[in-house]
Amino acid sequence: MRTMEFAEAIESALKQAMSENPDIFLLGEDLHTLRVNLLAQFGKERVQSTPISESAFLGAGVSAAMAGLRPIVEIMLVDFIGVAADALLNHAAKVHAFSGGKWSVPLVVRASCGGGYGDGGQHEQSLWGWLAHIPGINVVVPSNPADAGNLLLSAIEADHPVIYLEHKLLADYWLDYMGTGGRENVTFDIPEAGAKGEVPNKWQPLPIGEAKILREGSDLTMISLGVSVHRCIEAAAILTNEDISTEIIDLRWVSPLDTSCIINSVSKTHRVIVVDEDYLRFGLSGEIAAIVAEEINSKFQFGRVCTDFTIPFNRNLEDNILPNVNRILDVARAFTYE
Amino acid sequence: MRTMEFAEAIESALKQAMSENPDIFLLGEDLHTLRVNLLAQFGKERVQSTPISESAFLGAGVSAAMAGLRPIVEIMLVDFIGVAADALLNHAAKVHAFSGGKWSVPLVVRASCGGGYGDGGQHEQSLWGWLAHIPGINVVVPSNPADAGNLLLSAIEADHPVIYLEHKLLADYWLDYMGTGGRENVTFDIPEAGAKGEVPNKWQPLPIGEAKILREGSDLTMISLGVSVHRCIEAAAILTNEDISTEIIDLRWVSPLDTSCIINSVSKTHRVIVVDEDYLRFGLSGEIAAIVAEEINSKFQFGRVCTDFTIPFNRNLEDNILPNVNRILDVARAFTYE
Amino acid sequence: MIFMKERTLLKLYELMYRSRFMEETITRLWNDGHIYGEMHLGIGEEAIIAGVLSHLIPGDAIATDHRGTPPFVMRGVDLEALLLEILGHPKGLCLGMGGHMHLFSQELLLTSSGIVGSSGPSAVGFALAAKYRKTNNIAVAFFGEGSMNQGMLLESLNLAAAMSLPVLFVCKDNNWAITTQSSEVTGGVLLDRVRGFGIEAREIDGSDVTTVWQAVETAIPRMRKSTKSPYFIQANCTHNEGHFLGDPLLRFHRAPRKEFGAVTGPLMKSVLQYKGGRIDKRIRSVTKVLSLIAKSRMQLSDSKDPLLRFEKDNRDLEDQFTQIKSSIQSETNLLVERIMGIIQEEGVL
Amino acid sequence: MIFMKERTLLKLYELMYRSRFMEETITRLWNDGHIYGEMHLGIGEEAIIAGVLSHLIPGDAIATDHRGTPPFVMRGVDLEALLLEILGHPKGLCLGMGGHMHLFSQELLLTSSGIVGSSGPSAVGFALAAKYRKTNNIAVAFFGEGSMNQGMLLESLNLAAAMSLPVLFVCKDNNWAITTQSSEVTGGVLLDRVRGFGIEAREIDGSDVTTVWQAVETAIPRMRKSTKSPYFIQANCTHNEGHFLGDPLLRFHRAPRKEFGAVTGPLMKSVLQYKGGRIDKRIRSVTKVLSLIAKSRMQLSDSKDPLLRFEKDNRDLEDQFTQIKSSIQSETNLLVERIMGIIQEEGVL
Ligand SMILES: Cc1ncc(C[n+]2csc(CCOP(=O)(O)OP(=O)(O)O)c2C)c(N)n1
Ligand SMILES: Cc1ncc(C[n+]2csc(CCOP(=O)(O)OP(=O)(O)O)c2C)c(N)n1
Ligand SMILES: [Mg+2]
Ligand SMILES: [Mg+2]
């Protein structure tokens, strides 16, 4: 075991994967600086910088993957995926189905996501539930360095498109670019356990779609991912003092969802709060409600703490629109506990 | 009261609206033929044909609306919205919020949607739940001629962006173009009550977000919209013979959802089936489960009949992927009725 | 005139006719109601497709648009699998999942898509893979002139130029995009636009297969070299079935009485509606529409048919042509018989 | 030299300096940690913005990119509201919802967006509205040269040309897109590309406000006429704060010891890593990166500063300039004092 920062872990896992498999290459804007260490180690064929043409180079990534390579296409911020959504919606996600299962698209789309650093509503979205709506695509969102590295390998080794999202509050270079800009007089609520942690000596892919129980409990299940799992941990600690025993699930994969993990937990607790930084409606939190409602044959209490509006620039407003500990506590306390 | 076909109703309502408000104009591909009657009546300034540049002309529609006009931008098939998703995600949906509520975007995006006629997975999607995920946009899907005309007025009169989706099985000209091509030897399962029906003499906007109870019942609530409500009606008739009394809600609006209508009904029936032609996961059906779970303090049975895969070209496979009467009956019958 | 070996000429004819007869067969099957949904044919484009494909080598990739059938036929996809796919049969090339707009062959690196412009990025990705692997392969993108206004295609021109990728962009220009005359919604001159992206570009007569063959013969070797670069060909053509089978504009000319009545009723009613635009504007609109219908007739003409033209230009090969035709016809007819047998037997489409 | 009235020259200076001093103020506030997130300045672009805006009339619309502050300042937005907005204050222009990348003024038809290329479609829609309403108004799109590879911007060039819309496309060319030198990822010549869309286009020196003023003076009257048409201006400029405040490339030059060590450690480790590319490739990569850092230094130079240049070119107006400067400075400083008061009083940002 060694200790690494979140972004360092991703880079380290990428180095391992790229060393082992020459078919892996990176494609995206500014990669000569964003991935400068990989460029230095692997050369410019493996780290290709592009013009600001997301729909062309994401579309090109789809067919490069179909040609048998393992492209990792970077969309700087997931917010920008709108200009290239067709490549995901109608191509990456559908080629396998259209070809009768004969042709697969082993593509990784890597993007930064998430808010909490004052960059406004076009740069702080999460969108994982939005993207996961499309059948044929998987979405993964690590919450700590160990997962960040291991899950990247899972994404790369998958024979289908996986969208890999790294939260900007966890990845130090993103936060430096977009949040602090080298200043020392602005601070953000960075979850320590997410930004830095123990990692394996050799990166190992984790099974696709496997969630992780971060904390066991019997009264209440919190289901979350990314930065928000750390908000849950904080909230759970407070709830302990109120005699509420909280189980926390770090989904890791938005899609496929670890249905049995969710069901097992909620069958026990009968109370569930989804803490999801993506938009509230028609997304992940609803899907979890549906899964529970479909599978559980008894009453359960359901609440959710999500982003219900365009993310405001004002930091106070922003902090209240994004899931936070107080909002989680409010929902947890509003439940009835017999 | 008069009788009209679905597409005729839309055109009639548009004629009424365009006669009354000179700020309304249409922008989209092939409008000189698709909207030839409106062109003949209003001239080419009001019915503007564009190149195949969805991201530019949808983006232009956003600012034309900001300039105070009431553009109706047509995206031929909602499946093509992927190439222009940024205009919705980061612009149409966000200007009102970004401007502190000072600047609104009275834009209508009109598109055909839905399957059931053998056109394959890039031309038969519904995507309403996908689009509704974005805060700041409303989505409306009429299921019959009267609603088609009235809801179009609601969409036009709204001071925010509304996506208006017309199902190709209901709109005869779309089905003629994309399905039959003038042939008489191919047939489709067109719901009669959706394709033709009584309409008011003067079109009247309906309240935004108001669902309609199509049928009252006490054992089971079916929540649906578009073509699928007609599948529900068929299924409900069969279930009557099995002593199951079904209530059917035609949502009409995906967003905003008529939460109280849903809650009232499910509070009574405690059983709900969402029949939704859009993709199964992370969409409308999940959102309904969440709303019910949040609001109802007792056990309810939940099932859903949605599209869970890329839509196959093969007509048999297609008919089974899309919601159909048998699949609805299966879910309804699997519920327990005391 | 370009000098070409007889063998090459016969090969080109065979490619073109095989595709033509296959699509005529598809037309029949579609007319008989065996195929659902839309049906976009490549009839009229055969010279372009054959002229390009005859220069491709194994490992070259092709990204097609909504008119994928001719490239799939000419590149040598198993015809039974192809036809079954177009019929939506579970034994088809894609197990009936795709249909004619979503044909895929991994083996032959052939793709298609119903999304306008998407063949651009798709070919770029294949070319990127070829360059990455240091092969001498290229990738071809087929698309219509209407697609030249779609952002992702424009972006992919730049991407191919900036990354020096061996992409052959082939713009099949029939000047129609469904019922829009592309020249009316396209600024400037396409070739200028392409050259503005730093790509060598050339306009040719797409109804003459020898011209296409020759142009591609010149273009491709340079693209395969170690200094890669894209190339752009704009080749005119005509679709005499219009945009798709049952094209509403062409129906006017084929069943004028029936169609005209159905359309002019509401149209005239609209013109005469009390409220609306000024009367001169209304009349201008109607005139415009009528003239569009009139112009669409041009597509029906055979004068640009690449097969007729090739036959005329090569009268001396008439006998061989006849032989090729009859053998393709009987082959294809047998295939159809077999397929209809499969379909009848298994009772499902 | 172009003859311009003294009044005009002074007006241009005032516009430019007001924007400059405002953005210097913003820099200070940002450095002091009063502003969160990114901060893209328009310092270095003032000549382009002023040269264009001084020809606009009421009802003209402007779509800006991520560098919206200068146009907002120069178009006459209430400066207190603007600055409060940039600080994210609930009393700001957009109630603190937008910040510097999402500034909006309905009254003045001013928009901005953080999505590269989106000012193209946005200006097209405003121009469409102006034409629809038969006014003589135009719309301006401001964007960088990097945006010229974004599909929606390319589409909007065509759309404006095909629909004959009065859009003035203004490409502020600093040849950098974050840390990418645009010339390395851009095929062909931008002006050719634009002309290929059928749009008249011209390249000018964007550091000289009189050149910009004159170019726009020629372009705009034609655009306002009843036969509308778009126009394209490519104007060079330099951002001497780099892409945004705290630009990592520029940090090298400003705090070389600190930054260099932080970066070169992992970099050298990567170069020396056992597995990876051939050593010559690795060295070439590192050389490339180092040369990029070196090149980024050019941005720091004042030689292209539009204000310094204007002052030098108009030495005779020195006294007036000094007066303008000091009055703007004291105005702005007062404003900042008032605003910091508000912020302190209300205790929230
Ligand atoms: C993004 C997108 N927009 C619109 C359409 C609808 N559409 C299908 S084919 C077509 C016309 C294409 O014209 P062109 O590229 O010239 O090809 P042609 O049909 O003439 O061969 C259009 C608009 C689509 N499939 N995809
Ligand atoms: C669609 C999209 N892709 C990428 C980005 C990230 N990004 C922000 S500014 C920028 C560079 C823009 O370069 P240019 O247009 O030349 O403007 P400049 O910053 O040089 O003024 C990029 C890539 C974005 N905001 N939007
Ligand atoms: Mg065409
Ligand atoms: Mg730039």
Give the residue extent of every domain in chain C. Answer: 6-238+301-346, 248-299
The C-alpha of B60 sits at a distance from chain A's nearest C-alpha, in angstroms, of 15
Q: What is the pLDDT of residue D266?
A: 84
How many interchain CB pairs under 8 A, A with B?
A: 165
The complex's ipTM works out to 0.98
CB A261 within 8 A of CB A211: yes
**Average pLDDT score, chain D:** 94
pLDDT of residue C347: 63
Query: Distance, in angstroms, between B59 CA and closest chain A CA?
Result: 11
Q: List residues, by chain if needed, whose CB lies under 5 Å from ion ligand 4.
A: D 144-146, 174, 176
Res D343 pLDDT > 70: yes
User: Who contacts D305 (Cβ-Cβ below 8 Å, separation ≥6)?
Assistant: D44, D207, D238, D240
Whether ligand 1 lies within 6 angstroms of the CB of C146 is answered as yes
How many A from CA of B178 to the centre of ligand 2? 39
Spell out, as residue ranges, where chain C has pLDDT lower than 50: none
D117 pLDDT tier (thresholds 50, 70, 90): very high
* Mean pLDDT within D243-251: 90
Pick from C154, C155, C175, C178 the residue to mutate for probing ligand 1's pocket: most ligand atoms within 8 Å of its CB: C178
pLDDT at D164: 97
Q: Is the CB of C177 under 6 A from ligand 1?
A: yes
- Read off the pLDDT band of D1 (50, 70, 90): low
Instruction: Give the mutation candidate from C244, C270, C286, C296 for the B interface (greatest B CB count, under 10 A).
Output: C270
Mean residue pLDDT across chain B: 97
Q: What is the pLDDT of residue C349?
A: 59
Is the minimum CB–CB distance between C68 and chain B shorter than 8 Å?
Answer: no
Specify the pTM: 0.98
pLDDT band at D255 (very low <50, low <70, confident <90, very high): confident
Q: Is domain D6-238+301-346 given the CATH code 3.40.50.970 in the classification?
A: yes
Per-residue model confidence as pLDDT tens digits over A95-135? 999 999 999 999 999 999 999 999 999 999 999 999 999 99
By Cβ distance, the residue of C154, C187, C197 closest to D198 is C187
- Ligand nearest the Cα of residue D174 is 4
B2-199 homologous superfamily: Thiamin diphosphate (ThDP)-binding fold, Pyr/PP domains (3.40.50.970)
- Chain D residues in contact with A37 (beta carbon < 8 A): 266-267, 269-270
Is the CB of D206 inside a 6 Å radius of any atom of ligand 2? Answer: no
Nearest ligand to the CA atom of B82: 1
What is the three-state SS of chain A? CEEEEHHHHHHHHHHHHHHHCCCEEEEEECHHHHCHHHHHHHCCCCEEEECCCHHHHHHHHHHHHHCCCEEEEEEEEHHHHHHHHHHHHHHHCCHHHHCCCCCCCCCEEEEEECCCCCCCCCCCCCCHHHHHCCCCCEEECCCCHHHHHHHHHHHHHCCCCEEEEEECCCCHHHHHHHHHCCCCCCCCCCCHHHHEEEECCCCCCCCCCCCEEEECCCCEEEEECCHHHHHHHHHHHHHHCCCCCEEEEECCEEECCCHHHHHHHHHHHCEEEEEEEEECCCCHHHHHHHHHHHHCCCCCEEEEEEECCCCCCCHHHHHHHCCCHHHHHHHHHHCCCC
So where are chain B's domains?
A: 2-199, 212-333
Mind listing the pLDDT tens digit for each residue in C145-189? 999 999 999 999 999 999 999 999 999 999 999 999 999 999 999
Q: With CB atoms and an 8 Å threshold, state whether B69 touches D129.
A: yes
CATH number for the region A212-333 comes to 3.40.50.920
> A131-135, D21-25, D239-243 — which is least confidently predicted?
D239-243
* List of chain A residues with pLDDT < 70: none
Q: How far is the CA of D177 from the centre of ligand 4 (A)?
A: 5
- Asked if residue D346 has pLDDT above 90, the reply is no
Tens of pLDDT, residue by residue over B132-177, are 999 999 999 999 999 999 999 999 999 999 999 999 999 999 999 9
